[in-house]
Amino acid sequence: MKISPTRVLFASVINPVHKKVPVLLHNEKPICESLVVLEYVDETWKQFPLLPQDPYERAKARFWAKFGDDKSIRFVLLTEGKEQQEATLIALQNLKYLEEELRGKKFFGGENIGLVDLALGWLAYYLEIYEEYVEENRVPPSLRQNPTLNQIRQHEDEVAKAPKALSYIMQLYQILFSPGYGL
């Protein structure tokens, strides 16, 4: 996969600290970093809530989204040998925590997709994409077929196929990309 010089320049101009995407441009103002972007969307477009109304549930959602970001499986791929084995054990334990949180629910937030689902949905596909485009046979087998990742993938696939979710995504897309929003 090639990253164009234009994209790198663009990201470094609008996200001068990390020089990377994602960056949401809204009214010609950059909003940087995935979780910050999701919270901005939640606060800006109230008709599409991503966080629960209850303050305690909001705090829990923020915790799990940050947990997935900070304690994710991608760190396994940055190590080798014994370090990778140790990182894999930690990743598997962290996936068990996520599995417990998801147990008995359709989505992390219950019946509706929310911030945590959007923030962690990439976990289910990250390893496959990494092996396909970056380095084959790099992912430890214990992570490749992890039940938690498979469960998240199932939920993400269900969301992608659901007419209500598709309608929701299309409405959000129309808002984000309509004239006057600076996108």
For 146-177, how does the pLDDT look when each residue is reduced to its tens digit (9 = 90+)?
Answer: 777 777 776 666 655 655 555 555 555 555 55
Which pLDDT score, from 0 to 100, does residue 102 have?
Answer: 84
Q: Which domains occur in the chain, in start order?
A: 49-176 (1.20.1050.10)
CA atoms within 13 A on the CB side of 6: 0
Residue 111's closest CA among 147, 41, 159? 159
Q: What is the pTM of this model?
A: 0.69
pLDDT in tens, 50-90: 999 999 999 999 999 999 888 877 777 778 889 988 988 89
* More reliable by pLDDT, 178 or 76: 76
| CB proximity list for 7: less than 8 A, separation 6 or greater | 21
